[in-house]
Amino acid sequence: MCGIIGYIGNDEKKSILLNGLKELEYRGYDSSGISVLSEGELSTFKSVGKLINLERKCEGFHSSGFGLGIGHTRWATHGKPTEVNAHPHFGKFSNVVHNGIIENYHSIKESLQQQGRSFISQTDTEVIVHLFESHLENLKNPFEAFKHTISELKGAYAILLITQKSPDTIYYAKNGSPLIIGRGKDSKDAEAIYFASSDAPLIGLASEVCYLEDGTLGAIKAGGFHTLPNPKLLSGDKLSAQKDGFTFFMEKEIYEQHKVLLETMMGRVSEDNFSLEELSELDLSSVDSITLCACGTSYHAAIAGSYLIERIARLKVKVEIASEFRYRNPILQANELFVVISQSGETADTLEALKLAKRNGLKTLGICNVDNSSIVRESDFSLLTRAGIEKGVASTKAFATQVMVLWILANFIAQKCGILSKAAMKQEIKTMLEAVRATEVDKKAHEHIKRLSRRYLHGHGFFFIGRDIFYPLALEGALKLKEISYLHAEGYPSGEMKHGPIALADLGLFCVALMPQNLLYDKIKSNVEELSARDAMICALSAEYYEGCDDWIAIPKYSHYMVEFFAMMVVLQIFALEVAVRLGNDVDMPRNLAKSVTVE
């Protein structure tokens, strides 16, 4: 989704803004722009498409000496991805960048047009800068004008505004969209101030950061020492955000799953015990059911979690798609624990579902990959998934760690409720470690999938099928493939095929069958046979050769279905990756998608 960057200091503004935007690229965007205010001059550059286009546009521009700047990557919501619609938007002497949606922009625009102000873009954002300039005309004080402007906006926003009328100040406001202020030193050892919509661009620049709360607005002036409210230290671990020699972030992220899964377990799983310190204040005895709520891949992890929690902890679990949940006036029960799952912690639908549950008095838990994200801050309790920065838009290691956290949670609850014997606990922990090892990518197996992938570039679609917890894995396998290959793929519980979908079975239908040896093998086998009998092309994932298949991706023999689950997860991720690479697609930044969906 859109990304924001801002800077006040003495260093070259252009490069700081462009580098910052590069760090935000992975969120997905279709246009970008920067504005620099230095020596009273306001210079703005915008372009459509990749950042390289913007870099080319401002090649000859330099801005050494003191100044400030704002930048933006846009993912179109109101108005097409054109240069005019790209941010920063400008009035006569001020520029603005904005993430989120201004819901009442129509009425503001109309009244500004009646005052004779003209608009050039189709965006909601442009009203902010004209409204500011209109207030400034009357109030003569930029900060007062900014405050009045913000008070009239309805909707979600993170806003940075600069104006020639106050050339040493950045005005900022935050409500519903993330905004961070960072403080560091510039190359002259003087104080430098940074703004960004996520941590990534601030790593290595800001030593401390402040995650702004909803409803905050302010102005930061250059010079002088600034004390950030509630400052947090920012780690300088930039390396982990790089590609480590892999061609794609997605590939690197698939390969590092075994490491991050161990991180996820650290301190929470010992030889014979589960401990979640983060939940020490949570009274589990008052919880009689759990609702898991999320979007996309995180929703698939939620379904997987529902199988685990019900089976292991014997607690009733309901799973909700966040965008559906928020508008259907759901019935919520007092003793329900409301759990939201999110990689980014900024997904608008999930965040709003969480707020709704809180308003209804439910205890809430956020399972999230980004510390200090809106979801973590909003939840009563939180469990971090510890996957590290995930840059590939198609989620991989985040999914793996979400399932792991849910698996740990299931065992933790079972242990607390006294329904897990010491022996069973020990066995479960052994299985978890084996599952982690199963995610270590075997290069030979990767090569085999790569060769096989060329047989799957045509046809009229894919069914990914599985039973029980392999059903959400099938959903996830299909989502991975469609996200990056743009081929049509659906996930189904295999027992559902004969209730309709089997009508599609013919020579042009690919069926990826998840056939774990340790869970309902014979049941799924007969479902696959039905498809095979109707000429569908079968690609079987199993430990044992299944004679009805056209292709076989072998996984090693394991004695527990969860180990098979994690092994097959890796196969499905690599399969999607290799098909997409053969089709020449941008694996890390697939079309039409954004890493963090901060609008509903």
* Residue number, 342 or 453, with CB nearest to ligand M6R: 342
* Residue number, 342 or 415, with CB nearest to ligand M6R: 342
Coil/strand/helix, residue 161 = strand
- Alpha carbon separation from 40 to 54, 65, 166, 167 (Å, rounded): 23, 12, 9, 6
CA 22 to chain centre: 17
Write down the number of H helices and E strands in the chain: 17, 23
| Nearest distance from C-beta of residue 298 to ligand M6R, angstroms | 4
Spatial neighbors of 521 by CB under 8 A, at least 6 apart, are 515
- The Cα–Cα gap between 132 and 35 comes to 17
* Residue number, 91 or 296, with CB nearest to ligand M6R: 296
| Nearest distance from C-beta of residue 63 to ligand M6R, angstroms | 35
Spatial neighbors of 439 by CB under 8 A, at least 6 apart, are 257, 258, 261, 400, 566, 567, 569, 570
What residues make contact with ligand M6R under the rule CB under 6 A?
A: 295-298, 342-344, 347, 350, 393-395, 483, 593, 596-597
CA-based end-to-end distance of the chain: 11
Q: Is 243 an annotated catalytic residue?
A: no
Determine phi and psi for 77, rounding to 5 degrees: -120, -60
Q: Is 2 an annotated catalytic residue?
A: yes
| Nearest distance from C-beta of residue 8 to ligand M6R, angstroms | 30
How much of the chain is helix, strand and coil, in % rounded to 5? 40, 25, 35
Instruction: State the residue number with the nearest CB to ligand M6R.
Output: 296
Active-site entry in 2, 295, 511, 549: 2
CA 542 to chain centre: 31
- The Cα–Cα gap between 7 and 341 comes to 32
* Residue number, 560 or 595, with CB nearest to ligand M6R: 595
Spatial neighbors of 188 by CB under 8 A, at least 6 apart, are 10
Active-site entry in 174, 397, 482, 595: 595
Spatial neighbors of 151 by CB under 8 A, at least 6 apart, are none
Which one, of 334, 10, 397, lies nearest residue 185 by Cα?
10
| Nearest distance from C-beta of residue 39 to ligand M6R, angstroms | 41
- The Cα–Cα gap between 234 and 417 comes to 38
| Nearest distance from C-beta of residue 390 to ligand M6R, angstroms | 9
* Residue number, 445 or 593, with CB nearest to ligand M6R: 593
* Residue number, 73 or 596, with CB nearest to ligand M6R: 596
* Residue number, 88 or 178, with CB nearest to ligand M6R: 178
Sign of dihedral through CA atoms 541, 305, 291, 288? Answer: positive
| Nearest distance from C-beta of residue 370 to ligand M6R, angstroms | 8
C-beta separation of 200 from 241 below 8 A: yes
- The Cα–Cα gap between 572 and 474 comes to 9
| Nearest distance from C-beta of residue 36 to ligand M6R, angstroms | 32
Task: Please report where in the chains the tokens 């930048």 appear, as a residue.
Answer: 71
* Residue number, 481 or 536, with CB nearest to ligand M6R: 481
CA-only gyration radius of the chain, Å: 26
Catalytic residues: 2, 595
